[in-house]
Amino acid sequence: MLFGTGAAAQTALGTDWSWANFSIAELSCRCGGRFCGGEYWHDAQFLDALETLRAAMRGSPLIITSGHRCAGWNAAVGGAPLSQHKRIAADIALAGHDRFALLRAAGQAGFTGLGLARTFLHVDRRARPTRWYYPGSKAVWKR
């Protein structure tokens, strides 16, 4: 469900926010008002999977570097025209994590879109499972 702003989502969801380790702000569009007012896409199953992933990483924080993107911000940052970020996806910083453990746990948590980059892991819950490497990242994902 798309909310015009993270503030609107917070008002609508009120006390129904059940994901203690994540906030609407960190998952909202980060265009800084250039294209939207901080749109937020709410998906409880996605958030449940994020919490499951965090628990699998033994409670180590997951730093979300990109969540939902409005169409304008997605284009400005070079996102794919059909990017899952235009609904809900997350790029998780690899710093402080074993990249292979994070990847394995993401799959076990139910993420089906897995993008492997040098400094982050992209996760989403698309219908058709897909895994890809971002340019220049394949070498860091080899064992």
pTM for this model (two decimals): 0.92
pLDDT at residue number 30 = 95
Place of tokens 């924080």: 61
Q: What is the extent of the structural domain holding 48?
A: 2-141
The pLDDT tens digits of the residues spanning 51-93 come to 999 999 997 999 999 999 999 999 999 999 999 999 999 999 9
The pLDDT tens digits of the residues spanning 108-117 come to 999 999 999 9
DSSP-derived secondary structure for 20-86 = TT--HHHHS--STTSSSS--EE--HHHHHHHHHHHHHTTT----EEE----HHHHHHTT--TT-GGG
Q: How many domains does the chain have?
A: 1
pLDDT at residue number 91 = 98
* Residue 129: CATH number of its domain: 3.30.1380.10
Which of these, 39, 87, 94, 40, lies nearest to 64 by C-alpha position? Answer: 94
